[in-house]
Amino acid sequence: MHDPAGLHIRPAAAVAQAAAAYASDVRFCYGGREVDGKSVLDLLTLGAAPGTTVELVVIGADAEEAADHIARVWHEVLGASPGSANDEL
């Protein structure tokens, strides 16, 4: 994550909105915690700071499409260059 403010409300809302568009279960993992990627509040409680790596886990029928889209949104709103959804965010 490259945004100097870390994961804050605007990017968390964009990521949660992207995740909510899919039926798959979307989880973000960081520092031994796992949170619901469709919840802005859960994403904010993750406490991911600038320079950290966050793992995206998507399970379900539309998981591949969802992971690609959510990873792209994550990278766009947090100032990182787009990468594969299989990469850690």
Digitized pLDDT (tens) for each residue of the chain, 89 residues in all = 565 566 789 999 999 999 999 999 999 998 899 999 999 999 999 888 787 888 999 999 999 999 999 999 999 988 764 344 445 55
Q: Is the dihedral of CA 58, 63, 66, 69 positive or negative?
A: positive
Instruction: Assign domain 9-77 one CATH number from 3.60.15.10, 3.30.1340.10, 1.20.210.10, 3.40.50.720.
Output: 3.30.1340.10
Q: Where are the domains of the chain?
A: 9-77
Q: Which residues are catalytic?
A: 8
According to the model, what pLDDT value does residue 6 have?
Answer: 66
pTM for this prediction: 0.84
Residues 6+ apart with CB under 8 A from 59: 24, 25, 27
Residue 82 has a pLDDT of 37
Q: Residue 21's pLDDT is what?
A: 98
